[in-house]
Amino acid sequence: MKLAGKSAIVTGGGRDIGAAIAKKLAAEGASVAINYFASSAGADATVADIIAAGGKAFALQGDLNKPEDVDALVAKTVSEFGRVDVLVNNSGGLIARKTFAEMSLDHWNDVMSLNLTSTFLMIKAVGPHMNEGTIVNLASQAARDGGGPGSVAYAASKGAIMTMTRGLAKELGPKVRVNALCPGMIDTDFHNIHTPDAGRRGFEAAAPLKRQGLSEDVGNLVLFLACDDSAFITGTNVDINGGMVFS
């Protein structure tokens, strides 16, 4: 039990990568608070799975661009579990593919708020309750290579997450470690919505590991960064992309 007696917040924990992360942390002993925005059924199912396996969890709906919703999530976590040891900033998304020429200021601001501002607000809110612990941010392979067509805003927001991770590692150490991971093609609804099937098949053919990643692959890496197995690692942005991008 690598997280026995500890508590964790996982944002965007109602489906896919977030749900896999929540279950993995719970399986290693953490009590888990799950934030979701729209995936209520998935969040409830994840909580039910954790409780059925003997763990502790709850789900709370919230818009992480609203400070009051962020504060409510942190306050309920502290009330239920007494502490916050792990924060996983998984919530985010592309919204839509738009070229730079057709992109409106509203779209730019919406993508930045969804991915970057929400992470800022969560870390600010958790800070007073985390004397020691770990923060794991979700960046993206797009932050390394600029992303696919129409994802400049998304890639820029995730690049900012990478830089924020480095800066916070310096500012919050030695008591709090801050790392991020950069997922590539993971088999999730993100790519079901935004990536043509031909592109996914092309990835599988070109990738050294010849497959798309699984949400569980990401959950395993988050666990490593969240627990003491990575005790001498902070400020890193770890690639998880099947070998498609080396950095």
- The three-class DSSP label of residue 35 is strand
Q: Degrees (nearest 5) of the Cα angle 77, 30, 184?
A: 95
Say if CB 214 and CB 171 are below 8 A apart. Answer: no
For 218, phi and psi rounded to 5 degrees?
Answer: -70, -40
As given in the structure block, the two tokens for residue 80 are: 């239920």
Within 53-194, residue ranges assigned H as helices are 67-81, 105-112, 118-126, 142-145, 152-172, 189-194
Q: Which residue in the block uniquely carries the two structure tokens 């400070």?
A: 67
As given in the structure block, the two tokens for residue 4 are: 């026995």
Say if CB 43 and CB 33 are below 8 A apart. Answer: no
Q: Degrees (nearest 5) of the Cα angle 129, 130, 133?
A: 155
Among residues 36, 37, 81, 154, the one annotated as catalytic is 154
- The three-class DSSP label of residue 187 is coil
Say if CB 81 and CB 56 are below 8 A apart. Answer: yes
36 is catalytic: no
Contacts of 47 (CB under 8 A, 6+ apart): 34, 57, 58, 59
Whole-angstrom distance, CA of residue 188 vs CA of residue 190: 5
The residues annotated as belonging to the active site are: 154
